[in-house]
A and B are shown apart, each in its own frame.
Chain A
Amino acid sequence: MLAIARQRILGQSFQKIRPAVSVLRSYSSAAKQITVREALNSALDEEMSADPKVFLMGEEVGEYQGAYKITKGLLEKYGPERVLDTPITEAGFTGIGVGAAYYGLKPVVEFMTFNFSMQAIDHIINSAAKSNYMSAGQISVPIVFRGPNGAAAGVGAQHSQCYASWYASCPGLKVLSPYNSEDARGLLKAAIRDPDPVVFLENELLYGESFPVSDEVLDSSFCIPIGKAKIEREGKDVTITAFSKMVGYALKAAEILEKDGIHAEVINLRSIRPLDRSTINASVRKTNRLVTVEEGFPQHGVGAEICASVVEESFAYLDAPVERIAGADVPMPYAANLERMAVPQIEDIVRAARRACYRSVPLAAAA
């Protein structure tokens, strides 16, 4: 399944001509479908044309048109001064981006995958996240760090880690993770306009997936507020929270559960830091059961934080223990069947939701 998805992604990237937003806008009636890749590309394009202080920096973002073709066409449009191909020096160029942000520019730094951000994590945390605090508000850092995060297909242990919980534990950073094209466009635009450092976690396997978008999404001033989650599907029996690719899985799981009569509410977190605790808690108070889904390692993960938040704020409303679905507690294996076991699948989410729903047995006969 993953292999086919891969082929489709590659196929699409070669098929799609670089669309200008106006081309899409000419079809005003039908809902358009754009891929996440196009959504990100158009968001970058619009933000760069609106504000000359925005510039891109990263490996292969220019002449190679982007390692995953996200920055396709931008070098031709904006020139090499605004789309910089860097040497392979994450620590160096991330620090340069932070220094430029200190001084008033708005860099968008691309990591080829977020695994490579570990080489630059000192600058993301110490120079970017903490600076506004250390300087007592004198120096803000309007920088965006973006790139694919999490597992891809068969890329091995060192290319598959999910960094959502690492970055989300650090005060001073905002951590976003879009799912569909609307999320990608809106959140990236919001991130670039935001005066604080933002870690923008994309997903490689979602780049080629198409989603329908309304006209409003394609407007150049479309922004999604940071810190608000979205309820993708309303339900009343169990709440499933997820972000990035797992939202797609959770939605499919919800359809399967529907046939069993379990109406699941799926929350697309969108923003890992700040976490939209009020939406999650309101949903749990409605459904009384919670399943958290994430792709990363289970210990100290996003699900752990959500569970703690719900226990702190809505304990009396829980009818069943919180179920936590996460990746396996091992470095990502290479073999395809092992990899499939190391990443949550739709069946795992369905099983967990069923467990959460049948776990509560009334102690006394209830009417």
Chain B
Amino acid sequence: MATAFSTAKFSTQPFPLNPTSTTSHDSSIVFARPTSQFLGSTRKFRLTSSSKFNLSRRSKTVVAVSDVVKQKKSKSSPSLLITKEEGLDLYEDMVLGRAFEDMCAQMYYRGKMFGFVHLYNGQEAVSTGFIKLLKQQDSVVSTYRDHVHALSKGVPARAVMSELFGKTTGCCRGQGGSMHMFSREHNLLGGFAFIGEGIPVATGAAFTSKYKREVLKEADCDHVTLAFFGDGTCNNGQFFECLNMAALWKLPIVFVVENNLWAIGMSHLRATSDPHIYKKGPAFGMPGIHVDGMDVLKVREVAKEAIGRARRGEGPTLVECETYRFRGHSLADPDELRDPAEKARYAARDPITALKKYLIENSLASEAELKTIEKKIDEVVEDAVEFADESPVPSRSQLLENVFADPKGFGIGPDGRYRCEDPKFTEGTAHV
């Protein structure tokens, strides 16, 4: 039903769509390529490696970037995109993300995890491709689909799993939950349930970075912020407000759109007047780039450019990663609206399998080494589950803790003194 809708919609659009033609002049116009993918199941899927970058040529400010990327991508180039260590690092991170999320699903169905759980299967290339390029002081702001962002940023798997189980050893002592992962140490600034809520917060963190450099004169402060959000968010007012202000004040931020084509059951095409999200960047004065989000190496190349731009003080970038989530929106989502053929097509482009193939074909790693990594990750995840299982639930007194940084916020008790001074009120107020 949804796909029939999208077909009808596209046929009335004024774009020069000509999906079945590859050789006409239309092929140099970008839309030839994306329509086939966006319409998903009703069109034949065609992979031509160069047309991808034609997309980015549409926005004139990104020609340089896409050209750079295109040069690096061509198979005839002798130099590889990554070294062996980098390759294994990327592989390990993606496998960790996948194994962790699969374990989450298992634990949820066993009743150990509860509430809303949104899994990231299939999108690992975006998280790994971007976050692995960051320093510890750079910050990441995410949405409710944040487990893998937390893991990539360096939050230990144990802490994330305990948080999901609601135990006091979780990264937020069990007070946040699946959708609210925060880590001061790793500069993971959440974990927001409302879509679009994280974008202004990320813009603020980028603002702080610039403020620290220019006003507080911390000359070496070049921290970059990444804001991750989805296709549905790109119709939200806050997204546009922040594109405007980030470009206006030239903030060191990269807006990363994880376009997985579906917002719960709402297809991106049914919800958006112009489905090409990367085009919205140049409208605000920043480059807009489209990249294949199922290929971690391509994502990494684009990320290098975008993060480098931000670090040098050249301002924000909007990166649209075309990706897909293999599971439903959340574990409660029956996922009936998506066409199985579309899912199969994307499953064939699994980023982990693609990287594995690349590593082996380019002799960067052997099967055995990759198997060792997988085994290691399995152990890490098992250990995380065990740790979380054995951890204690939060004590009763923890209910009233951490509401305020300054505990006097609870006001004055009946005896006229500040409530927080009453030892009975709560044990260990403002404990961290």
Say if A and B assemble together.
yes
Q: Which residues of A contact B (CB under 8 A)?
A: 52-53, 55, 81-82, 86-87, 89, 91-105, 122-123, 126-127, 131-140, 142, 171-172, 174, 194-196, 225-228, 271, 273-279, 281-282, 313
Question: Which residues of chain B from 177 to 236 have a CB within 8 Å of any chain A CB?
Answer: 177, 180, 182-185, 189-194, 197, 199-209, 211, 214-216
- Determine which of B183, B237, B245, B430 lies in contact with A137 in the assembled complex, contact meaning CB atoms within 8 Å: B430
B227 (CB) vs chain A CBs: closest residue: A99
Interface residues of B (CB under 8 A from A): 139, 141, 172-177, 180, 182-185, 189-194, 197, 199-209, 211, 214-216, 237-238, 241-242, 244-245, 248, 401-406, 408-416, 418, 430-432
Chain B residue contacts of A123, Cβ below 8 A: 197, 200-201
Decide yes or no: A91 and B241 within 8 Å by CB, A96-B204, A278-B413 being known contacts: yes
Could you say which of A97, A134, A137 contacts B432, with CB atoms under 8 Å apart?
A137
Question: With A89-B241, A91-B241, A136-B176 in contact, is A122–B409 under 8 Å at CB?
Answer: no
Q: Nearest residue in B to A193 (C-beta to C-beta)?
A: B406
Q: Give the docked Cα–Cα distance between A33 and B248 (Å).
A: 42
CB contact between B405 and one of A95, A127, A132 (< 8 Å): that residue: A132
Task: State the CA gap A137–B180 with chains docked (Å).
Answer: 13
Decide: B204 and A53 in contact? CB cutoff 8 A. no
4 smallest A-B Cβ distances: which pairs? A99-B204, A95-B200, A274-B411, A92-B241
The contact sample of 14 A-B pairs, CB cut-off 8 A, is A52-B215, A52-B216, A87-B241, A92-B200, A92-B242, A96-B200, A96-B201, A99-B200, A126-B192, A132-B402, A136-B176, A136-B402, A138-B185, A138-B432
Q: B residues within 8 A CB of A96?
A: 200-201, 203-204, 207, 242, 245
User: Which one of A103, A122, A174 lies within 8 Å of B139 (CB-CB)?
Assistant: A103
CB distance from A275 to the nearest CB of B (A): 6
Q: Specify the chain B residue showing the minimal Cβ separation from A91.
A: B238
Q: Known contacts A98-B200, A100-B205; is A274 also within 8 Å of B409 by CB?
A: yes
Q: In the complex, A58 Cα to B270 Cα: how many Å?
A: 36
Which residues on the B side are within 8 Å of A195 (C-beta)?
404-406
A279 to B416, CA, bound (A): 7
Specify which chain A residues have a CB less than 8 angstroms from the CB of B413 in the assembled complex: 278
Select which of B194, B201, B406, B430 is within 8 A of A99 by beta carbon: B201
CA distance in complex: A278, B421 (Å): 15
Chain B neighbourhood of A228, CB < 8 A: 412
Most buried by B among A96, A99, A127: A99
Task: Choose from B139, B205, B237, B418 the contact partner of A91 (Cβ within 8 Å).
Answer: B237
Contact between B197 and A127, CB atoms less than 8 A apart: yes
Minimum CB distance partner of A174 in chain B: B409
Taking a contact as CB atoms under 8 Å apart, the answer to whether B201 and A136 are in contact is no
Contact A196 B242 (CB under 8 A): no
| Contact indicator B238/A95 (Cβ below 8 Å) | yes
Residues on B with beta carbons closer than 8 Å to the beta carbon of A98:
200-201, 204
| Docked-complex contact B215 and A135, CB < 8 angstroms | no
Closest to B404 in A: A196
Interface pair B245/A278, CB less than 8 Å apart: no
Knowing A87-B245, A99-B202, A100-B205, the reply to whether A139 touches B182 (Cβ < 8 A) is yes
A-B Cβ contacts below 8 A, count = 191
Q: Which of B216, B248, B410 contacts A53 (CB 8 A)?
A: B216
Chain B residues contacting A89 (CB-CB under 8 Å) are 241, 244-245
A105 to chain B: closest CB distance in Å? Answer: 5
Rounded to whole angstroms, the CA-CA distance of A95 and B432 in the bound complex is 25
User: Cβ of A94: which chain B residues have Cβ within 8 Å of it?
Assistant: 200
- B238 surroundings in chain A (CB, below 8 A): 91-92, 95
In the complex, A51 Cα to B204 Cα: how many Å? Answer: 19
Q: Are A95 and B197 in contact (CB under 8 A)?
A: yes
User: What residues on A are CB-neighbors of B211 within 8 Å?
Assistant: 55, 81, 100, 105
- With A95-B238, A98-B200 as known contacts, state yes or no: A137 contacts B244, CB within 8 Å: no
Contact B412 A279 (CB under 8 A): yes
**What residues on A are CB-neighbors of B205 within 8 Å?**
99-100, 102-103
Contact A278 B416 (CB under 8 A): yes
> When chains A and B are docked, how far (Å) is the Cα of A278 from the Cα of B419?
11
**Contact of A132 (CB < 8 Å), options: B200, B214, B403, B411:** B403
Other-chain residue from B182, B189, B214 in contact with A81 (beta carbon distance below 8 A): B214
Q: How far is the CB of B209 from chain A (nearest CB, A)?
A: 8
Contact A227-B208, Cβ < 8 Å, known A92-B241, A95-B197: no
Nearest neighbor of B180 in chain A, beta-carbon distance? A134
Q: When A87-B245, A132-B405, A134-B180 are in contact, do A127 and B201 touch as well, CB less than 8 Å? A: yes
Residue among A55, A137, A225, A313 making CB contact with B402, cutoff 8 Å = A137
Query: Considering the chains assembled together, what is the distance between the CA atoms of A137 and B402 in angstroms?
Result: 5
B204 touches A95 (CB 8 A): yes
Contact present for A126 and B197 (CB under 8 Å): yes
Closest Cβ of chain B to A223, distance in Å, is: 12
- Cβ contact within 8 Å between A131 and B182: yes
| Partner pick for A138 among B139, B172, B201, B401, CB 8 A cutoff | B172
- The answer to whether A139 and B173 touch across the interface, beta carbons within 8 angstroms, is no
Are B414 and A101 within 8 A (Cβ)?
Answer: no
Q: Which residues of B contact A275 (CB under 8 A)?
A: 411
How far, in whole Å, are A89 and B246 apart by their CA atoms in the complex? 13
**CB distance A196 to B406 under 8 Å?**
yes
Known: A89-B244, A99-B205, A104-B208. A127 touches B192 (CB 8 A): yes
Are B197 and A122 in contact, CB atoms less than 8 angstroms apart?
yes
Asked whether B200 lies within 8 Å of A135 as measured between CB atoms, the reply is no
Q: A87-B244, A126-B197 are in contact. List 6 more A-B contacts (CB 8 A).
A: A91-B241, A98-B200, A134-B172, A134-B176, A227-B408, A282-B416
Closest beta carbon of chain A to B430's beta carbon, Å: 6
Contact of A171 (CB < 8 Å), options: B184, B403, B430: B403
Q: Report B-chain residues with C-beta under 8 Å of the C-beta of A273.
A: 411
- Selected contact of A136 from candidates B175, B194, B410, CB within 8 Å: B175
Residues on B with beta carbons closer than 8 Å to the beta carbon of A174: 404, 409
Known: A96-B203, A133-B175. A196 touches B409 (CB 8 A): yes
State the CA gap A92–B239 with chains docked (Å): 8
Across the interface, name the chain A residue whose C-beta is closest to B239: A92
Chain A: CB-nearest residue to B199: A95
A102-B204 in contact (CB<8A): yes
Judging by beta carbons under 8 Å apart, are B410 and A274 in contact?
yes
Cα separation A281 to B415 with both chains bound (whole Å): 11
A130 to chain B, nearest CB (A): 8
Give the shortest distance, in Å, between B333 (CB) and chain A (any CB): 23
Q: State the CA gap A171–B403 with chains docked (Å).
A: 7
Name A95's contact: one of B185, B203, B401 (CB within 8 Å).
B203
Indicate whether A99 sits within 8 Å of B189 (C-beta atoms), given known contacts A123-B200, A135-B180, A274-B412: yes
Enumerate chain A residues within 8 angstroms of B411, measured Cβ to Cβ: 227, 271, 273-277
For A127, the chain B residues whose CB sits under 8 A away are 190, 192, 197, 201
A273 vs B185: C-alpha distance in the bound complex, in angstroms?
31
CA distance A140 to B406 in the complex (A): 9
* Docked CA distance A99–B190 (Å): 11
Complex-state Cα separation, A142 to B404, whole angstroms: 10
Q: What is the bound-complex CA distance between A100 and B251, given in angstroms? A: 12
Chain B residues near A104 (CB, 8 Å)?
Answer: 208
CB distance from B103 to the nearest CB of A (A): 23
B133 to chain A: closest CB distance in Å?
20
